Amino acid sequence: MTGMNANGRAAKSSRWTFWVWIAAGLVLYAVLGLLIDSGVIDSYMSLIVYQMCLNVILAVSLNLINGFTGQFSIGHAGFAGVGAYTSAVMTAKMHLPFPAALLVACVFTAFIGLLIGIPTLRLKGDYLAITTLGFGQIIQVVLINLQYVGGAAGMTVHKETNFTWLYFAALITVAVIANFVRSRHGRACIAVRENEVAAEMMGINVTYYKVLAFTIGALFAGLAGALAAHTFYFIKPTSYGFLQSFNILVIVVLGGLGSITGSILGAVVLTLITALLQDYPQWQMVIYSLILILIMIFRPQGLMGTKEFRLSSIGLGRRRDGHAAP
């Protein structure tokens, strides 16, 4: 009975914590929305906020693959490219409404992730990295040579998004992946990361969970690509090459592999660093690289490591007896 009561209290505390975070997210949305509408955050700063939201989606979804499941994918921008071009074709060529185009882009990108994941996720380490890198390059070359979507010249897209679309897409991404990680499936993915052989001996279908995480990550990368395409008016194949995949990976490593809070923090920090260095184009990559080197020297596990920011750390989420909630 004691164990059952403890489990009940833990579940109740977990639900309470989840809704507190949702409420905090809604408050942040209201504050940022008010600042943008009133002009306190100007158009340039608004673009930085938009980019933060997109980077949060990309980083959290890649962290599910690299951080929580222990794979090494460096082709995440390729999935964003698939989502961007699919949604652009749906709205510009097929004249579908934006929500429908967004749904088609997410489903199609998840399907591509499934097709790529089934044959490649039997590989490990460097072999998987090379395979995903090759996939990203294939997507880029196909888009460059596909005249239906503008080829190398790119494609003009109508603006369909706003701060509300981007913010709630990021909030939903974080909520879905956080709940997935805490679920039975998420714990299986973490077991695969820790030791594939031991996980398989315990009856976990290693390939299934690798493919599942890869597909979910691809779906949300496609969501970010579709939103970005309808935020910045114009897309081109070179925007979804190795450099963009590398930048997403840097955000994940900077925040901490296996930490959703870290991915959010890393996305905010790296977006701000990139924005601040816009005034120094000749030194931008040098300063950017030096900052990353210093962070890796003094904080190699990332800003958060594998930890999450918890309410108990600021005095919330405590039981009546004074102890932190489970």
Angle between the 163-182 and 206-229 helix axes, to the nearest 10 degrees? Answer: 170
Residue-wise DSSP of 128-185? HHHHHHHHHHHHHHHHHH-GGGTGGG-EE------HHHHHHHHHHHHHHHHHHHHSHH
Please tell me the distance from the alpha carbon of residue 250 to that of residue 246, in angstroms, as a whole number.
Answer: 6
Q: pTM score, two decimals?
A: 0.88
Q: What is the mean pLDDT of the chain?
A: 85
Query: Both tokens of residue 256?
Result: 């901490």
pLDDT at 212: 94
Main-chain dihedrals φ then ψ at residue 130, nearest 5 degrees = -65, -40
Domain ranges of the chain: 12-41, 50-242
- pLDDT of 101 strictly over 80: yes
Place of tokens 């897409």: 169
Alpha carbon of 196 to those of 14, 186, 190: distances in Å?
Answer: 28, 14, 10
Q: Which residue type occupies 278?
A: Q
Tens digit of pLDDT for each residue in 223-268? Answer: 999 999 999 888 999 889 888 888 899 899 888 888 999 999 999 9
Fold of 50-242: ABC transporter involved in vitamin B12 uptake, BtuC (1.10.3470)
DSSP helix/strand/coil, 318: strand
Confidence of residue 12 (pLDDT cuts 50, 70, 90): low
